[in-house]
A and B are shown apart, each in its own frame.
Chain A
Amino acid sequence: MSNIHLHYEVSGEDFTRAGEASGSVKKRLKALGYNTDAIRRVAIAMYEAEINMVIHAEGGFVDVDIFPDHVEVLLSDKGPGIPDVEKAMQEGFSTAPDNVRNLGFGAGMGLPNIKKYTDDMRIETEIGKGTDLYLTVKVKEA
């Protein structure tokens, strides 16, 4: 069976639409009959990353590859990059300004959550160039 490829553009302008791509992937996985736990892990991890693209970078694109036994997601942005990845991965670390906090984000829990829900997570980032986040979630039988 060949894999299914999905591509999304994520606007950095529209906070209200952030999460559209994640919701759409979730729907697709459900239709394909993947198990609930795996779908939820993909959806939450991707959603956190999609929100990060919008609030910390200026949007970007998402590539999703759905295999029978795992799902791969690449979230790529041309934002400011992450100066200290180790620090960014710590629970509670956030550079989000007050206006983002008032929107319900900026607890510094997004990246730790992504790590928790995925089986593999890789960050490639360069200051001033952008960030590529690679996620893999394994799928057990339904």
Chain B
Amino acid sequence: MVVKDIIDILEGEVICEGNLDAEIKTACGSDMMSDVLAFVKDQSVLLTGLVNPQVVRTAEMMDMACIVFVRGKMPDQGIIDLAEQRDITLIKTRYRMFTACGKLYEGGLSGGTAV
């Protein structure tokens, strides 16, 4: 799966465009950033209901190519600028966390290895 497919599956709106052809192998959904930072997975996407700059910084440290904001949440310009500088794609979807994760799972993404 690539970032473009995620946009399609989640009927998402692109808020900041990074590399839309970047490959995505796993996904992670959480509002607690240290939970996200606990497990390094290669080429993953972060789904979150949290909207602040630390979401982008967390993705940066993890080398994530894409962040999905669920429930139609809209990041402010400061967050968008931060993502733009780091070449991270920001997507907004109207789906809630559970549904968004379910749709991506159905589409073939996994959560990576279990703990």
Q: Do A and B come from one complex?
A: yes
Q: Which residues of A contact B (CB under 8 A)?
A: 15-16, 18-19, 22-23, 26, 36, 40, 43-44, 47-48, 51, 103-110, 112-113, 116
A-contact bits for B22-61, CB 8 A (1 contact / 0 none): 0000000001111101101000000010101111011011
CB pair B50 A104 closer than 8 Å: yes
Instruction: Answer yes or no: B62 CB below 8 A from chain A CBs.
Output: yes
Instruction: Answer yes or no: B84 CB below 8 A from chain A CBs.
Output: no
Smallest Cβ-Cβ distance to A106: which chain B residue: B32
CB pair B61 A104 closer than 8 Å: no
- Please measure, in the bound complex, the distance between the C-alpha atom of A43 and the C-alpha atom of B31, giving whole angstroms: 20
- Please measure, in the bound complex, the distance between the C-alpha atom of A116 and the C-alpha atom of B54, giving whole angstroms: 21
Could you tell me how many residues of chain B have their Cβ less than 8 Å away from some Cβ of chain A?
Answer: 22
Chain B residues near A51: list those with CB within 8 A: 33, 54
- Please measure, in the bound complex, the distance between the C-alpha atom of A110 and the C-alpha atom of B62, giving whole angstroms: 14
Q: In the assembled complex, how far is the CB of residue B63 from the closest CB belonging to chain A, in whole angstroms?
A: 6
Partner of B32, one of A16, A22, A104, A116: A104
Contacts A40-B62, A104-B50, A104-B52: A109 and B78 contacting too (C-beta < 8 A)? Answer: no
CB pair B34 A22 closer than 8 Å: no
- Please measure, in the bound complex, the distance between the C-alpha atom of A130 and the C-alpha atom of B50, giving whole angstroms: 30
CB pair B57 A47 closer than 8 Å: yes
CB pair B37 A104 closer than 8 Å: no
Chain B residues near A43: list those with CB within 8 A: 60-61
Smallest Cβ-Cβ distance to B40: which chain A residue: A40
CB pair B37 A109 closer than 8 Å: yes
CB pair B61 A105 closer than 8 Å: no
The 10 A-B pairs with the shortest beta carbon distances in the complex, nearest first, are A109-B34, A19-B57, A107-B32, A43-B61, A104-B33, A104-B50, A107-B34, A16-B53, A47-B61, A44-B61
- Please measure, in the bound complex, the distance between the C-alpha atom of A22 and the C-alpha atom of B56, giving whole angstroms: 13
